[in-house]
Structure 1
């Protein structure tokens, strides 16, 4: 794929993403989307916290 066709594809994908984001931010589903994103972020944060705690415990046991 040539350099110019990569640029065109990148532009089209970027424009499509921009249109999709604009649509959701201006729709009635914006609040629902934001809540889903917050929920998923909280789940991910809890998952990483558990992994960190597990790692810290394992490290303490290894060093003791």
Structure 2
């Protein structure tokens, strides 16, 4: 794939993402979408926190 065709594909993908974001930010479902994203990010944050604690415990047990 040449550089110009990569640029065209990148532009099209970027434009599509921009349109989708604009649509959701201007729609009535914006608050619902934001709430879902907040919930999912909180779940992900909790999972990472648990993994971090497990990793720290495993390292602590190996060093003891």
Residue deviations 1:18-51, cap 9 Å, x none? 0000000000010011001001100000000110
Unaligned runs of 5+ in 2: none
Match of 1:53 in 2: 53
Query: Alignment length, in residue pairs?
Result: 64
What is the alpha-carbon root mean square deviation over aligned residues? 0.7
For 1:60 and 1:3, the matched residues in 2 are separated by 50
Match of 2:27 in 1: 27
Please report the TM-score for the alignment, with normalisation by the length of structure 1. 0.94
Structure 2 matches for 1:10-21, cutoff 5 A?
10-21=10-21
